[in-house]
Amino acid sequence: PPPEAETFKKHPLDKSQYHRFVLDNGLKVLLVSDSRYNKSAAALLVDIGYYGDPPDRGGLAHYLEHMLFLGTEKYPGVDDYGTYLSQNGGYDNAYTIYDHTNYHLQVNHDAFEGALDRLAQFFIAPLFTPEYTERERNAVHSEYQSLLERDGTRTSQVQALSYKKDHPASQFNIGSHETLGKVSRTELLDFYRAHYSANRMSLALLGKTSLDSLEQWARLYFTPIINKD
């Protein structure tokens, strides 16, 4: 709907401007504009998490998250994305949980458009650079090992024992050498193509620029993401 038809529940002191819409490819967008922000930020959520892992591939969704950071056709440098953000006062991160994966960033205002262009390419033309597949598999395994002694991880594993064996919540989900060691490049690409569809994505953009500019960037950079229905 046009901005004047939108209603948002806001705190009386909230002076931010909001706009939400859906791109032609089905991707849902929320924009937030406020001249007082000291950084611009973005988050793209994909409606697939570790509940979507095949039974014998625990951690595949998490592994895919790692692999998307390793260059795209437009920006092939394996460190291009992170370097661009760090050189412009920003940072990036991502996480995978049971029902979604989230990719997010913050950056100086004048570098926001460039950051959005780079982020969008993750979902348009990622390279899944073959020579880094083993490195990222090791990174996932190291993350698994570092979590072993955390109370939250232990609690989750105890909870998993109480679930039905055929429910995805009962599965191991972080990923390790044992569960990811036999994952082929073809299998990884098939998982990406099956689940990373525009109609299963939501985008939030926050910055000091106008809602019109934010909308223009959202349409320009994220409309090319394919809707696979």
- Return the active site residues: 65
Residues 6+ apart with CB under 8 A from 226: 25, 124, 197, 198
Per the listing, tokens 């412009």 go with 88
Residues constituting the chain:
229
Using alpha carbons only, give the angle 13, 17, 23 rounded to the nearest 5 degrees: 145
Q: For residue 145, give both structure tokens.
A: 């090992």
As a whole number of angstroms, the longest Cα–Cα distance in the chain is: 55
Taking the alpha carbons at both ends of the chain, their separation in whole angstroms is: 23
